[in-house]
Structure 1
Amino acid sequence: MATGQVLNPGDHIYTECLGGSYYHHGIYVGRGLVTNPNTGKTRTITNATCFYKPKGSGIVLTCLDCFHEGNGLYRYEYDVSLLSFTFKTSGSCTPWSCYDPNTVIKRAYDYLRDQNFGDYNFVFNNCEHFATKCKMGKARCNQALWGTGLPGALVYNVTRRLTKDILW
């Protein structure tokens, strides 16, 4: 996080992967209790992140350090202007508004508990979809727009709806 910024539970966060070629997203939940599936032991994570992880592992709760692995850590912005949305880095913001932090965290934990967010798909069901679904109630992925702004958002959403029955 930039100097002076503090994370609040319910924040949508993201970190750079492969030198910024794409971003990994999650929901900062603050304090979280995790159970080791091998030993059954539980422990509290002080700075926990709930995020969607590919390769069949579904949604996981992890510590903040493991989430960003020493890369930059950023807060995703909501309610940005359409002009800002068009010119900001894809996958860093949305013009849509979001729910209150308690609703966001409840959704993240519900998906974690039920493991029902669906199969991972790099373009149509990824970690950014998970985080925006928790925050807004609608799964969106602005980084899949590859910097195309509002026109790309329209094409992406139409394509996602047309292929939904094929992919899922």
Structure 2
Amino acid sequence: MGLFSNRVNKKNLKPGDHIYSWRTAYIYAHHGIYVGGDKVIHFTRWGQELGTGTVLDVLVTSSVPARAQVPCSTCTPTEEAHHGVLSSCLNCFLAGGVLYCYEYAVQRYLFLAKVRGGTCTLAASDPDDIVVHRANHLLKYGFGCYNAFKNNCEHFAIYCKTGLLVLDQRTMGHSGQADSLVSGLIAAAFSAPLRLTNTSIFDIGATAFRVYCESRIAADIGKRSDVVKVSVEDLTTRLENSRCTTDY
């Protein structure tokens, strides 16, 4: 994988890899865990493989080839995925898109070089066998309520890889692509007052970019202090004791 691209060949995949594929001209990416045997376990919105629960759904579903919207006979039937976790073949997971591999324990300069969030993290990954165990366990018991910003497919894959969860579920999650959007909004809000002064466009841009980078790093699960290591069995117990309040 190169400095700016995490593209990978299918033959180089190994069980435990966190993979993803961009949808709709790189607007949104779908994430999952490759568990071997041409199978990917991934978290969806109530079993809807291409759904995000946001206005992006109109773009995502319209941009994916019709053949990719109908899972093959080897994949988990949607009606059986009542908790939103699916097992799909690699081709159905990709939905006609390109295969990429998420990177872990990257250096800060590499993290910032990949300006778009949702491709790498500063956090380290656990051993592959543990990652596969978590994914298979969650396939059976689920991963809670889908939320586009706090509990999405990227959160699922990152948890499988690290076992880390945000302690306060009322705060922002640790999805790189969601954090990238929020960081952009923070940067825009921070730099907006500068436009009313005599500050140059170059300085405004530099300030906005600095704030954007700092916000992304602060939100990354590898840097946050409000995370805890949770075994997948304990996670299941937590989920059983909680209730979904929204399917947003």
With normalisation by structure 1, the TM-score equals: 0.77
Q: Which deviates further from its counterpart, 143-152 or 89-98?
A: 143-152
Q: Is this contact kept in 2: 1:105–1:134, CA < 8 A?
A: yes
**CA RMSD across the alignment:** 2.5
Q: Counting helix residues as a fraction of each chain, which structure ranks higher?
A: 2
Structure 1 segments of 4+ aligned residues over 6 angstroms from their partners:
none
Find the structure with the greater CA-based Rg: 2
Specify every segment of 5 or more residues in structure 2 that has no aligned partner in the other structure, as ranges: 1-6, 48-81, 166-173, 185-211, 228-244
Instruction: Classify the secondary structure of the residue corresponding to 1:20.
Output: coil
Find the counterpart in structure 1 of residue 216 from structure 2: 152
Report the Cα offset of residue 67 of structure 1.
0.3
How many angstroms apart in 2 are the aligned matches of 1:4 and 1:15?
Answer: 12
Q: Is this contact kept in 2: 1:87–1:149, CA < 8 A?
A: no
Find the counterpart in structure 2 of residue 71 from structure 1: 97
Instruction: Classify the secondary structure of the residue corresponding to 1:109.
Output: helix
Q: Which residue of the other structure, out of 27, 31, 45, is the alignment partner of 1:25?
A: 31
Find the counterpart in structure 1 of residue 130 from structure 2: 103
Find the counterpart in structure 1 of residue 145 from structure 2: 119
Q: CA 1:80–1:151 in structure 2 vs 1: closer, same or farther (change >3 Å)?
A: same
Percent identity at matched positions?
37
Q: Within 5 A, what are the aligned runs for 1:1-168?
A: 1-3=7-9, 6-31=12-37, 47-55=38-46, 57=82, 58-88=84-114, 89-115=116-142, 117-139=143-165, 140-146=174-180, 148-154=212-218
Q: Counting strand residues as a fraction of each chain, which structure ranks higher?
A: 1
Q: Is this contact kept in 1: 2:22–2:30, CA < 8 A?
A: yes
Specify every segment of 5 or more residues in structure 1 that has no aligned partner in the other structure, as ranges: 32-46, 162-166
